[in-house]
Amino acid sequence: MDKIKNTNRHYYLAKAYFAAGMFARALDEFDKALKFSPEFANIHYDAARVYEKMALFGNAAKEYKIALDINPHYADAKESLAKLLSGNRDEKLKIKKILPVKKIIKISSAVFSLFVIIFTIYYFARPVPQSIAYFSIPSLHPAGITISDKEIWICDWFSSTIYKHKFDATLSLIKSTKLSNIYPAGIASNKKELWICDAFSKKIFQFDKNTLKISGSFQSPGSNPSAIFDSGKFLWSCDSQDDKIYRHKKDKNLTVDLTFSLSNPNTVGLFVKGKNIFVADADTGKVHRYFLDEQARKISQLSEYEIPAFGTSATTAITRKISGLSMTNDYLFLTSEGTGEVYRIPFKMLKSKVNSTIKCNSAN
């Protein structure tokens, strides 16, 4: 009884796959049915029909012949085999081995895994251009830059404008949006939102990323908000007058849960990566790295980076002042006041000066 049940289960499932055009799966089920009942001529006949649909004529001929060996009076099998053998199909009647669908899936998965491994090795081992790239932008007075997926957003304090760029080889401009009575000093982003800090109104504004309509307005904890960053769970802001970094909860009041003192005179850029906090200083043209000890509620200044195109490290007579900061895995992205350019600098070009007298700044 079990033999008949199992045969029928696989046989009718195979016919359903065949009717749906899922030929490989149909063959799998016919093979399973034949393991229970290899003496059933109609299973061989239906398997042959599938092979014909797949243009595997040699395999089809073999199955028709097996059906006729079992039942020499099987008229449909005899007629189908005659049609198959008619004409010049000698070269097409070679029998080909068909891999089961599960085996194909396993092989495909193995190939895909190998591809992922090769791509990962290539990505991390690939040569990164070791030179500074300059991108022209329409903003002459950029005050902040943020990278979100395949987009770069830049804000201009003087024109009160937000610029949306493609993250491509030329930072192609997608659109620009004029703000009303907001003078952005910094910009941050996530998948759905943009954040703007305004030093004139001393406020932090929340925007819907698609419509660029204001969805929230919050009083800044400092007197001169100068940079902002969205780390996902928290929003971070800097104040260049009070020399503070604030970590905000993303609640209805944007509550500050941690406050840290800074020793940088003019903080204009902020980026948080894990426990590392990067701060850009407009006066010195340097980027400082701090380590966050959340349990002790303090940050420690670990190192500072001299930026080749800025400050005393600049190799040209042009005086550039950092006005915004963002990062990727390989590059530092900086904006500069008055030049109308974005600078992409490989991390490997940066000269790190370790701070031998590490200063710990505690939260208030």
Q: What pLDDT score does 104 carry? A: 53
Same domain, 85 and 176: no
State the average pLDDT over residues 43-51.
91
Q: What pLDDT score does 356 carry? A: 39
Half-sphere exposure of 17 (CA within 13 A, CB side): 21
Q: What pLDDT score does 349 carry? A: 83
Among candidate residues 78, 95, 112, the one where a domain is terminated = 95
- Hey, what are 115's tokens? 């591809």
79 in a structural domain: yes
State yes or no: pLDDT of 121 exceeds 50: yes
How confident is the model over 10-36, as pLDDT tens digits? 888 888 888 878 888 889 999 999 998
* Residue 254: how many other CB atoms lie within 10 Å: 20
Same domain, 138 and 85: no
Q: What pLDDT score does 288 carry? A: 92
- Hey, what are 132's tokens? 């500074």
How confident is the model over 197-215, as pLDDT tens digits? 999 999 999 999 999 999 9
Q: What pLDDT score does 342 carry? A: 92
108 in a structural domain: no
- pLDDT category of residue 358 using cuts at 50, 70 and 90: very low
Q: What pLDDT score does 234 carry? A: 96
Domain of 71, in residue numbers: 2-95
- pLDDT category of residue 128 using cuts at 50, 70 and 90: low
Same domain, 186 and 234: yes
Q: How far is CA 51 from CA 21, 37, 72, 131, in A?
A: 12, 19, 21, 59
Same domain, 169 and 246: yes
CA pair distance 101, 25, nearest whole angstrom: 6
Are 303 and 343 spatial neighbours (Cβ–Cβ below 8 Å)? no
State the average pLDDT over residues 101-120.
62
Are 139 and 342 spatial neighbours (Cβ–Cβ below 8 Å)? no
Q: What pLDDT score does 318 carry? A: 57
The angle formed by the CA atoms of residues 155, 159 and 160, to the nearest 5 degrees, is: 55
Same domain, 140 and 215: yes
Residue scoring higher pLDDT (227 or 140): 227
Among candidate residues 70, 95, 120, the one where a domain is terminated = 95
105 in a structural domain: no
Q: What pLDDT score does 97 carry? A: 57
How confident is the model over 94-110, as pLDDT tens digits? 555 555 555 555 556 66
CA pair distance 122, 134, nearest whole angstrom: 26
Which range (58-62, 178-182, 185-189) has the least confidence? 58-62
117 in a structural domain: no
State the average pLDDT over residues 154-177.
94
Q: How far is CA 10 from CA 40, 52, 101, 278, in A?
A: 13, 20, 15, 63
CA pair distance 51, 217, nearest whole angstrom: 67
Same domain, 148 and 254: yes
Q: What pLDDT score does 350 carry? A: 81
231 in a structural domain: yes
Q: What pLDDT score does 239 carry? A: 93
104 in a structural domain: no
Residue scoring higher pLDDT (202 or 123): 202
How confident is the model over 302-313, as pLDDT tens digits? 888 888 877 655
Same domain, 204 and 60: no
How confident is the model over 221-257, as pLDDT tens digits? 999 999 999 999 999 999 988 899 999 999 999 999 9
How confident is the model over 261-270, as pLDDT tens digits? 988 778 999 9
How confident is the model over 315-353, as pLDDT tens digits? 554 568 899 999 998 899 999 988 888 999 988 888 776
- Buried b or exposed e, range 308-333, using 16+ CB within 10 angstroms: bbbbeeeeeeeebbbbbbbbeeebbb
State yes or no: pLDDT of 6 exceeds 90: no
Among candidate residues 72, 95, 118, the one where a domain is terminated = 95
- pLDDT category of residue 354 using cuts at 50, 70 and 90: low
State the average pLDDT over residues 110-115.
66
Residue type, 309: A
120 in a structural domain: no
Count of domains observed in the chain: 2
Same domain, 262 and 325: yes
What is the average pLDDT score of the chain?
84
CATH of the domain at 85: 1.25.40.10
Same domain, 160 and 281: yes
How confident is the model over 49-79, as pLDDT tens digits? 999 888 888 888 899 999 899 888 888 889 8
Same domain, 88 and 159: no
Same domain, 14 and 65: yes
Same domain, 78 and 149: no
116 in a structural domain: no
CATH of the domain at 201: 2.120.10.30
State yes or no: pLDDT of 117 exceeds 70: no
